[in-house]
Amino acid sequence: MLGVGASGPVGDGEAAASGPTVVRGLALPTLTERQAWALLVSIPGLGPVGFGALLRSLGSGRAILETALQRGAVGRLVAAGLNDERETFGRPVAEAIVAIAERPLPVLRAIELPGIEILTTEDAGYPRRLLEIEMPPHVIFVNGDVAAMSATHAIAIVGTRRPTEAGRRVAAQIGGAIAKTGATVVSGLAVGIDGSSHAAAAAEGGRTVAVLGSGHGRLYPKAHADLARKIVAGGGAIVSELVPDTHPSPSTFPRRNRLISGLADATIVVEAGERSGALITADWAMQQGRGCFMVPGPIDAPTSAGCLSWLRQYPGEVRIVAGIPELIEDLRLLEGAAPGPRKGMSLEAELIELGATARAVGMELVRGFGTLDELVVATDQPAATVLGALTMLELRGLAVSAYGRYRPAGRLASSGGRTATRKAILRSVRPSEPGPSAA
């Protein structure tokens, strides 16, 4: 059941069977409750507080539209929209509700685009994390898999639209590493840090969620239309609280930012100037009780000024990103990770950063294969690729070579024994990968 109408419960099935409501000589089409909500959120000036007040007063979206077709509707709607005896909207908004109730179908045709799913706060598929924030959007519009918004772990990565090359690289490294753990990467589809994070997650075969500062029919930026298609094709989702024909504007992006943080367990800012919009997302994350992380940078770099300032101002609330493995540990993304402080990083976290080939080579070293030829055959990788992986393992102290043979070292050969080490490597491989010898 989605709401209560004038004659009782109204849901998707019952709306179709109830027939049109005739009031003041006009007929309200057999709208579902979800459609009624979508129509109402399309009205400029009717914000979440006013809409919530109307729902409390009148019971359902359909009841609001039915009231709009009665005599004296404007005054009744304004009165119904009172919140703590204060007006949440005036006569112009009430008149717009009346207008949309009288001619809902043209507006509905513009809202119900093919491939765009409409979710309300009363739908089972509405993401739990959003329900937990203050004033969640009553309606969201989703292109893609709605389940992507409800992953077990979701991390937001944001930053400036004009990053340095180093910033792009770090954002891609973080996005890719998070995707390898199976967590969802959330960002805003903007050029710069956002785009790098989305693209890296998608390239790793992970799911990523993009939150728009426009409607789906006005996707912004247009340069990322292909990236948006890849996100959806990879099992992710493109989300907006704005009806499809909404143009982006300076006021829509702060609204978008609260949803980015609201869909995530923590927000990571890679590069941000002193007045960057990414800091608005970080502020929302802190207000919503979510984690907040900042990547430090050169003290004389404008793109690092915002991150450094926040690390200095909020030492107890904002955490530093000291490295990819450390970040994965701090975010508790690994299987079986327990809450609370940790001493050092785990082998799993380090192997995730090194990549699938290095993990595969590490597995074969643990199994006892030690020559280059043996490792090439065991991993089914070219010799140059295996040598590159061995170099990374050696630099991390996880492998050593002597007389033409390689053997595991450090934590790869450590106290837990080979069985425990092998399990650690297997845990660091995402379930979707074919196995430890995958490229």
Question: How confident is the model over 170-214, as pLDDT tens digits?
Answer: 999 999 999 989 999 999 999 999 999 999 999 999 999 999 999
226 vs 393 pLDDT, higher one: 226
What is the per-residue pLDDT for 211? 98
Q: In the predicted model, is pLDDT for residue 15 greater than 90?
A: no
pTM for this model (two decimals): 0.74
Integer Cα distance of 77 and 79 in angstroms: 5
Long-range (24+ apart) CB contacts under 8 A made by 403-411 are 404/371, 404/372, 405/370, 405/371, 406/365, 406/370, 406/371, 406/372, 406/375, 407/365, 407/370, 408/362, 408/365, 408/366, 411/347, 411/350
Give the pLDDT band of residue 435 (cuts 50, 70, 90).
very low
What is the domain partition of the chain in residue ranges?
3-111, 128-330, 347-427
Q: What is the mean pLDDT of residues 357-380?
A: 86
Q: What's the CATH number for 347-427? A: 1.10.10.10
Q: What is the mean pLDDT of residues 53-76?
A: 93
What is the per-residue pLDDT for 413? 64
- Residues with Cβ < 8 Å from 306, sequence gap 6 or more? 269, 272, 273, 274, 275, 276, 278, 279
Integer Cα distance of 432 and 414 in angstroms: 28
> Which pLDDT tens digit goes with each residue over 235-258?
999 999 999 999 999 989 999 999
Q: In the predicted model, is pLDDT for residue 17 greater than 80?
A: no
> Which pLDDT tens digit goes with each residue over 21-41?
444 434 566 889 999 999 999
Task: Classify residue 290 as exposed, middle or buried by CB count within 10 Å of its CB (0-12, 13-18, 19+).
Answer: buried
Is residue 272 within 8 Å of 306, Cβ to Cβ? yes
Domain 128-330: state its class. Answer: alpha beta
> Which pLDDT tens digit goes with each residue over 116-143?
999 999 998 999 999 999 889 999 999 9
Percent of the chain with pLDDT over 70: 82
CA separation (Å) from 246 to 42, 386, 402? 9, 51, 64
Q: Please give the mean pLDDT across all residues of the chain.
A: 84
> Which pLDDT tens digit goes with each residue over 317-364?
999 999 988 899 899 887 544 333 444 556 666 677 777 788 888 888
Q: What is the mean pLDDT of residues 4-20?
A: 36
- Please name which of 295, 261, 416, 408 lies closest in space to residue 346, comparing C-alpha atoms: 416
Is residue 192 within 8 Å of 160, Cβ to Cβ? yes
